[in-house]
Structure 1
């Protein structure tokens, strides 16, 4: 009988572990919706407002807890400009001295009243070349050879984002480059951190954002990427893997503490 109960406990333990793993994303960055970030960027009237929207729970874009403290990380927005190109960096502090970039929105002006935009997830958190952009399609009727009837063809289009309020804001005369004034331990009054939810729940909440913003294989905003590259911040304590990012901390006594997104930890 004892052996039977031991066997049942082992099976239940394995089932629980499997269920927990299924509630974790394949890549840690998937707990931050790039599509959702672009939805909010399209809605915002300024970069300050964009940062506020990113850090509101009801917008359902951020589910990151990179430092494993059991609450959502505050997302900062910083703009780096060179001529008519902007690299808008989304990042978070993991501690007083450690900062990790999450994604960068690259915007390049392509004409007097045209601009293109992409957001790219940081390589520490996302799969390689995780790039998202607004998408539209051009429908046309194609003639078939022989007796077959005509058919509809959908051709993807690069979306002109010039009329987005946030884009017009950063290209207006007299624009002062926005840098988030907030730091580790110093946050705006509106900030109310919340507890992360399971990835399954978060992924479902983000579904509406994926209708108008799609992942693409090609980087179009190459100048913005060049501007951003020397500015990139990544934490020396983040160890990336497919089933979660481990945050490694060194205590004053020389002890290493490893925290996972579940909030658990172990010392060595």
Structure 2
């Protein structure tokens, strides 16, 4: 009788152990899938953009460095064609506040604003604020920093003297002679580059704007139709497009959709630094 009780207990403990292991494995698989998915916002670190604006001399220089693979600040691939998107710079503003709109063309007449940079002059110094586009970054995504003179904001000497606004002549199918397209780096590699680029920067994240002037970007409200990369707050037309044309990360099991093939791909991607088209 005692032996039968012992046998039953052994069987029960065995079932519990197997169930626990299976549950943990399922949980691990779920977590791998979640971490493998990347969003459009992962392709352009706004703090790194803020650090860059303090080092460039004019908007043309800003555009050149944003699209330089050796600088590595831009890793956007909104249409997931395995090529980093070319970022255009458009200048706007008034006497005491200047702005730059950063946008991407995903086709003829199909423009997506990605972020804006606003610079306000206050005496010998002022403030710089980088704002992420709502569709890409979600609501209330700002980075702000003060500047105390030309030594901390080289571009100020250009901005606040008379000059025509810079409007990038480039875009879909039209690129400067020096430009060479490049593939997106892995998300791990990009995060490392972005951290290095913003190292020592005094930009801090904010949930709302701290600027006193309201200047409007000429690209405000421009949302590209064929964005495949996951968005934080897509428009109705973008939602419709993404439903018909899901992101590669979603199709491979991103956002917690566990499948055997997606788990194997995610596990490989993690060990190899998300090699391929990740951000």
Q: What TM-score, normalized to structure 2?
A: 0.68
Structure 2 residues not aligned, in runs of 5+: 1-23, 253-279
1:175-234 superposed Cα distances (whole Å, 9 cap, x missing partner): 11111010210111111111112222211221121541221234112424x423874422
* Selected match of 2:44 from 32, 36, 43: 32
> What is the CA–CA distance in structure 1 between the aligned matches of 2:182 and 2:32, rounded to whole Å?
23
Residues 23 and 198, structure 1, Cα contact 8 Å, conserved in 2: no
- Counting only pairs closer than 5 Å after superposition, residues 186-265 of structure 1 correspond to structure 2 as 186-208=174-196, 209=198, 211-212=200-201, 213-224=203-214, 226-228=215-217, 231-238=220-227, 241-242=231-232, 258-260=245-247
* Selected match of 2:119 from 91, 107, 122: 107
Post-superposition offset of 1:165: 1.6
1:222-261 superposed Cα distances (whole Å, 9 cap, x missing partner): 424x4238744222444754599996898xxxxx951525
Q: What TM-score, normalized to structure 1?
A: 0.71
> What is the CA–CA distance in structure 1 between the aligned matches of 2:213 and 2:97, rounded to whole Å?
7
Structure 1 residues not aligned, in runs of 5+: 1-10, 135-157, 251-255
The number of aligned residues is 223
Change (3 A) 1:230 1:76: closer
> What is the CA–CA distance in structure 2 between the aligned matches of 1:14 and 1:186, rounded to whole Å?
47
Residues 141 and 208, structure 2, Cα contact 8 Å, conserved in 1: no
Change (3 A) 1:198 1:18: farther
Structure 2 residue aligned with 1:132: 143
Residues 102 and 115, structure 2, Cα contact 8 Å, conserved in 1: yes
> What is the CA–CA distance in structure 2 between the aligned matches of 1:168 and 1:80, rounded to whole Å?
16
**SS across alignment from 1:228:** coil
The answer to whether 1:118 aligns with 2:118 is: no
Residues 244 and 260, structure 1, Cα contact 8 Å, conserved in 2: no
Structure 1 residue aligned with 2:35: 22
> What is the CA–CA distance in structure 1 between the aligned matches of 2:114 and 2:195, rounded to whole Å?
20
> What is the CA–CA distance in structure 2 between the aligned matches of 1:189 and 1:264, rounded to whole Å?
36
Residues 68 and 264, structure 1, Cα contact 8 Å, conserved in 2: no
The answer to whether 1:49 aligns with 2:37 is: no
Post-superposition offset of 1:14: 9.7
Change (3 A) 1:16 1:180: farther
**SS across alignment from 2:216:** helix
Change (3 A) 1:241 1:101: closer
* Selected match of 2:159 from 170, 192, 203: 170
Post-superposition offset of 1:91: 0.6
